[in-house]
Structure 1
Amino acid sequence: MLEDLLQKFETYLQIEKNASKYTLTYYRKDIESLYLFMEKECIQELTNIDYQTVRLYLTTLYDQQLSRKSVSRKISSLRSFYRFLEREGDVDKNPFLQVSLPKSELTLPNFLYHEELEALFRVSDLSTPLGQRNQVLLELMYATGIRVSECATLTLDAIDFDLQTILVIGKGRKERYLPFGSFAAKALLRYLEDGREVLKSKSNNSNAFVFLNAKGNPITTRGIRLILNNLVKDAALTVHLHPHALRHTFATHLLDAGADLRGVQELLGHEHLSSTQIYTHVTKDRLQHVYMNSHPRAKKNK
């Protein structure tokens, strides 16, 4: 019975919410965690769970030394699960609504400085197909703030050189148009007219994806991460560059230059403004650092 409800919920997520495999995996893990707790406590039905039971469940999560972020995610997942079950008439109340989500530690997004970016842009050998592709990956990810998954699935027909925009399919199949500048446009044209044609000839399979690997097949998100790590090594940088760092850098540099927070939210494809506001903490910290180190009367005399 419990497994049937979980499978029904997964079908709902796939069909109505268009959830990714990654999202489905985490929902299943979170719900199965509750099922294990129910088995241990001899609770047979989801309808038997009340506020006190949820509090006991939270205690077991903290006993496992889970982070506040992990606990918050599990509670959020179970709220959604029960909300769905309420809609379907399988339960008559949602006990997880009564529990406050634990506040997460504020972790500021890491980003690259302009000097570090310039070092990365000088690394790729633009006379080779892979070098041209790697340059476009850097240029486009920094120019648009595109997610790595969005980058890997970008297709040729999504590029409009006249308007200098790309059409991106984001989370929940939501579409948004992202502008790109002259540097990304130049790198894109060079790669599409030269490097990509060479890479495409190495595979018998024709596809419309922009980014191809050395064998001419569509690149994977793991492949993009590997490329970025290698570029960092070649540039002799000490930073750890994951794809999201370029997205963080995109947002931080825009806000540093005076961009509107709502505009950055739309470009990033954030559903909630709170997801974008974390970047204001970064810019405020940088402004304070600049002030304290530059203003003649900012520091106390020793």
Structure 2
Amino acid sequence: MAKAKVLSKDEVKRVMRMADEGCNGLRDKTALSLSIAAGMRIGEICALTIGDVRGLDGKAVSIIHLTKNQTKGNRSRRVFVSEALGKLLNAYLATISDLGDDRAFIRSNRTGGHFSNVTLSTRFKAIYLAAGIATSSHAGRRTFATRMNAAGIGMATIQQAMGHANIATTAGYCWVSDDQLANAVNVI
């Protein structure tokens, strides 16, 4: 199976524009941003509840605490939220009518409940295709890891941000560009 594409900044903008155009634009844009800007897995996004994302002050939290039941590998982990992602989470929270802590954060219009992993993955792929990008729903997560690597973030830090048990798994997510290679040899 081929690896998911690493999205360029322009491609991310195009994907977000396409997500925003749909009737559930803010929801889709928020879900995609959790993948691209926070490195969350599809299953983790599907499992999020209002209580995971909203703090006691009613605003988005700066750290999302995922339980072992919400993650792959049955290990709890923390997801750190950037300021930009926090603003988007707050905007989306403001549109949700039923804010019970146990309610799905990214919810289906049809059921009002959690998306299945397959349904959200299919939604992501459709948005990517509408933006002219043929890739899997995993592209956001791979983009997150690669961008952190390109910014000079250490592999151990990226491993923690991704929630990987093995650093070799993390390394497989990080694509290295020709510019990075050229810069690396010029450091010596």
TM-score range, shorter chain: 0.7 to 0.9
Mapped contact 1:167–1:176 kept (Cα < 8 A):
yes
Partner residue, 1:144: 38
Moved over 6 A (4+): none
Task: Give me the whole-angstrom Cα distance separating, in 2, the residues matched to 1:132 and 1:163.
Answer: 18
Going from structure 1 to structure 2, the CA distance change for 1:234 and 1:172 (only over 3 Å counts) comes to: closer
- The aligned runs of 1:69-218 (5 Å cut-off) are 110-125=5-20, 128=23, 130-159=24-53, 160=55, 161=59, 163-169=61-67, 170-194=71-95, 196-197=96-97, 208-215=103-110, 216-218=112-114
Per-residue deviation, 1:230: 2.5
**Cα root mean square deviation, aligned:** 2.8
Cα deviations across residues 148-180 of structure 1 (Å, max 9, x unaligned)?
Answer: 111100112212456511112322331111111
Per-residue deviation, 1:234: 3.1
Task: Give me the whole-angstrom Cα distance separating, in 1, the residues matched to 2:3 and 2:43.
Answer: 22
> Any gaps of 5 or more consecutive residues in structure 2?
none
2:180 maps to which of 269, 287, 298: 287
Amino acid in the other structure paired with 1:209: A
1:221 maps to which of 99, 112, 117: 117
Q: What's the secondary structure of 1:122's corresponding residue?
A: helix
Task: Give me the whole-angstrom Cα distance separating, in 2, the residues matched to 1:175 and 1:113.
Answer: 30
Does 1 or 2 have the higher relative contact order (CA < 8 Å, sep 6+)?
Answer: 2
Aligned residues with identical type, % of pairs: 22
Which of structures 1 and 2 has the bigger CA Rg? 1
> Any gaps of 5 or more consecutive residues in structure 1?
1-68, 70-106, 201-205, 296-302
Per-residue deviation, 1:108: 5.6
Mapped contact 1:146–1:247 kept (Cα < 8 A):
yes
Per-residue deviation, 1:182: 2.3
Higher helix share: 1
Amino acid in the other structure paired with 1:154: L
